[in-house]
Chains A and B, each alone.
Chain A
Amino acid sequence: MGISLAAIGAGLAAIGAGLGIGKIGSSAMEGIARQPEAASKIQTAMLIAAAFIEAVALFAVVVSMIS
C-alpha cells in the first residue's frame, strides 16, 4: 500500500517536472526562433534550468524509493 502511494507521489513529481521542463523547452524554442543568433546561450540556460527542475523530480523519486 505504501508502495503504490510512493509511486503516485513519484508520478505527481514527474507531472510537475514534465510541465516545468515542457514550459522551459517551449520558451527556449520561442527565444531561439526570435533570436537564432543567441541559440547557444539559450540552450545552455535551458539545460541548466531543466537540470534544476529535474533535480526536484529526482528528489521526489528518491524519497519515494526510500519510503
Chain B
Amino acid sequence: MKYRPFLISKKYFLTAFLAFFCLFGAVMAQDVHASHEGESAHIESVSKEHGEEKFNITEFIFHHIGDSHVFHFWGEGEHWKGLYLPIILYTHNGLVTFSSKAFELNDDGSKVVEVKGMRFVQAHGKIYYANEEAEHGSYVSHEKNKKGKDVITNERPLDFSITKNVFSVFFSVALLLVIFISVANAYKKREGKAPKGFQSLIEPIILFVRDDIARPNLGYKYERFMPYLLTVFFFIWINNMLGLVPFFPGGANVTGNIATTLVLAMFTMILINFNGNKYYWGHIFNPPVPWWLKPLMIPVEMISIISRPFALMIRLFANITAGHILVLSLLCLIFIFNSLAVAPASIFFAVFIGAIELLVAFIQAFIFTILSALFIGMAVEEHAADHH
C-alpha cells in the first residue's frame, strides 16, 4: 500500500478530530469528577442555605445518573413532588424497614433517623450508621484517603432498599411481562396466522434475535439459549429506552449502573462456563501453542474467562452512563452560561444526542446479546481436537 501522510488524508483527519474531541471530553469529565470527589461534601447544604448561589454541574449530573432512595418527579423544597421509596436495611440487629420519608430529603448526614435503637443518616444517597456527636451539623465523619479524596468513614448497613433503580427494574420487568405475555397470548389466539397489531411489531425483533444473533453464533444449538438471549436483549433495550425518558417512570439510569450490568454479565459468564464443552476447557488449560508458551498462555486464557464478561459489563455501563452525562451536560450549559440565549443550541444538541442515544440503546442491547451469543457459541462449539 502506498504510504499516506498521517493527518493529511481526510479520514485520518476526521478520526483525529474525533479523538481530540473525546480527549477533551475525558479531561472535562475527569475534572468534573475530581471536583465532585473533593468538594461536594458540603455543597448541597451550602446551596440550600444560600438559595441559588452557584450551580454545581457535577453534583447535578452525578445526582441524576446515580441511585436514590426517592423518585423525584418535579419541584424543589416546598414544592417537591416525588415518590418516597421504602428503605430495607440488614443491620447488626437484623432487618429494618422504614420509609425514606423519614430522612425528609436530607442527603448530607444531618438528619438522624432512629429505628430499633439504631441511628441512621443519609449522605450522598447512601445510608450510614450515625455518629454519636454531630460534627459541623453532620453525623458522618470524613477522612481524606491516600489519594487526597474525601471519603465518609462511617460504617454502612447492608442496603437492600427499593431504590430508584430497583423500582425501575421492577417496573421494566412488569412492562416486559405485560408486553410479551400479551404477545404470546396473541400467538396462541391466532395460531398459524399472520401476526397482527403489536405482535407484528415484536415478531421481526424476535426473528432478528434468532436469525441474526443466535443462529450465526450458536449454530444448531441455538434453541436452548434463545430464552436467555431474548430476555437479555429486551431487558437491556427497554431499560436503555426507559433511561432516556426524562420523567417518571423512566429516567432512572438502570443499565448505566454497574450493578445491573454486573448481574447481566455474570449470567453470561455462568452460561459460558456451565455450557463449555471439553474443547472449550481444553483450549484454556491446554492451549494449542508450543510447550514453552504454555506457562504464559494458560494464565492469559484463564483471565479471559473473567475479562470477557468484564468487558461486557464495562461496555454497557460506560456507554449508557456516557450518554446520560452527555445529554445532561448539554442541558447544563444553559445554567453554566446562566443565559437563556444558550438554550436553543443546547436543546438542539441535547435532542440530537438523544436521537443518537436511541440508536445506541438498540446497538448496546444488540452488542451485549450478540457478544453473549458469540462467547457461548465459542464455548459450545464442537470441533475436531486437532483443529487450530
Q: What residues of chain A have their CB less than 8 Å away from a CB belonging to chain B?
A: 2-4, 6-8, 10-12, 14-15, 17-19, 22, 26, 40, 44, 47-48, 51-52, 54-55, 58-59, 61-62, 64-65
Contacts and interface: CB of A to CB of B under 8 A. Distances in A.
B11 interface: yes
Given A4-B27, A7-B27, A47-B363, A22 B14 contact: yes
Contact of B19 (A2, A14, A26, A54): A14
Interface residues of B, number: 31
A14 B11 contact: no
Contacts of B216: 44
Contact of A11 (B15, B27, B147, B315): B27
A17 B33 CA distance: 22
Interface in B256-281: none
B374 A48 contact: yes
B18 interface: yes
B11 A7 contact: no
B370 interface: yes
Contacts of A62: 314, 318
Contacts of B311: 52, 55, 58-59
Interface in B133-158: 147
B318 A61 contact: yes
B27 A59 contact: no
A54 B33 CA distance: 21
Nearest to B15: A22
A14 B21 CA distance: 9
B18 A55 contact: no
